[in-house]
Amino acid sequence: MRSALPKVLHPLAGKPLLQHVVDEARALAPRNIIVVYGHGGQAVRRSIPGDGLQWVLQEPQLGTGHAVRQAAPLLDERVPTLVLYGDVPLISHATLARLAAAAGEDALALLTVELDDPSGYGRIVRQDGHIARIVEHRDANEAERAIREINTGILVAPTPALKRWLAALGNDNAQGEYYLTDIVSKAVEDGVRVASAQPGQVAETLGVNSKPQLAQLERLYQARIAERLMEEDGVRLADPARLDVRGELRCGRDVFIDVGCVFEGEVELGDGVEIGPYCVIRSARIAAGARVLPYTHIDGAVIGERARIGPFARLRPGTELGDETHVGNFVEMKNTRMRAGSKANHLAYIGDAAIGERVNIGAGTITCNYDGVNKYETIIDDDAFIGSDTQLVAPVRVGRGATLGAGTTLTRDAPEGRLTLSRARQVTVETWKRPVRKKTGAG
């Protein structure tokens, strides 16, 4: 991977590769989940949260069979064991359930797939249609390399037998490693049935060993999300290939998402919401009929029905906008509650504020909410009008229906229904002349 980050911690759709695999395993309601780790182990343990995980260190790292052998003392012999790989993130629990069903209680079941180009993969060798053994590509002869059915490495085994087979593994091969695949021939020797199952899609079995492969799987994953959004939720995507969901995106009916948008965390879009191009939306709830115009960033905000946001707006955590509110270009809001019908259309910073209904906030308005140590609240009551280039030095309150003249610096409460302004008197100096550059002599 050419990276200091352990491979299984590289992100796919916003979460580590290993987290995808653990989540799919959890969907099967297993007795326990054991993670065998090696390189960067402590970082891996810190990055994968949740109770119920057991961690086993593989040191030294002598192959897949050796890895599973480290976990053998923790395996529950009352149930079969499922072996997964932390760098194969697209595997689905539906495929795993099908594999477990093929194994039953007493068979060894392998997840296999046929590839047009099986180079590099272990081949499934069958006799009379039954799986007899697996041969690794580097150890295969010419006839075996012509086989297209390959082993994905994912398997389900009866646990007592698996422990026996692991203990008997040898490392007489080109790599000097203990191959997990060697348990297949041991199962055949023991008269244990060896079954197989296939994934819903070949992509489920793809692993990550390089940055190009990681990028390939990212697009496959995003394509899967895009298809679900269109088929199941009826979302209209301007271009399904230019969508990135790095969390959970829930959509109502008739939602439109333009190109280049990124959704992170848990995002909910109500009926008829329109998202313009190149927006980044994180952990937000946007109600029905709202429009988010291009290049808007929304993080931890709640937006009411038929609101209009952007373009180039930024809503930070704690922002709650009521129905039919407008937040325009180059407006930033943080920890602000703005009620229905209010608007801040241009070039403003509104932080730590409570804004009533039908308030107009002029261009260049700033709430001065921070004294270098503490934050303070600005309150603007219903129907107030805030003139352009106004500074509201919190804590301060603007009364209902009050008007602040343009250029005002408000340091005390403004009474309701009145005009308040703080400007120096305008003066024209009749005797003033523009200065001119002095002439200098030749030097």
Type of residue at 261: C
DSSP track, 46-96: HHS--TTEEEEE--S---HHHHHHHHGGG--TTS-EEE--TT-TT--HHHH
- 273 Rama sector, left if φ>0, alpha if ψ -120 to 50, beta otherwise: beta
State the catalytic residues: 346
CA dihedral 234, 239, 241, 244 (to 10 degrees): -70
Question: Using CA atoms, how far apart are residues 427 and 405, in angstroms rounded to an integer?
Answer: 18
Element (DSSP H or E) covering residue 327: strand 326-338
Tracing tokens 């129905």 back to the chain, one arrives at 323
* CA-closest candidate to residue 338, choices 352, 351, 357, 324: 357
DSSP state, 243?
Answer: E
In terms of Cα–Cα distance, which of 45, 47, 26 is closest to 37?
45
Residues 319, 333: Cα–Cα separation, whole Å: 7
CA max distance for the chain? 111
The helix/strand/coil state of 352 is strand
Count of helix runs (H) and strand runs (E) in the chain: 8, 34
Q: Tokens 């047009």 map to which residue?
A: 116
**What are the residues whose beta carbons fall under 8 Å from the beta carbon of 321, sequence distance 6 or more?**
301, 302, 303, 304, 307, 309, 315, 327, 333, 338
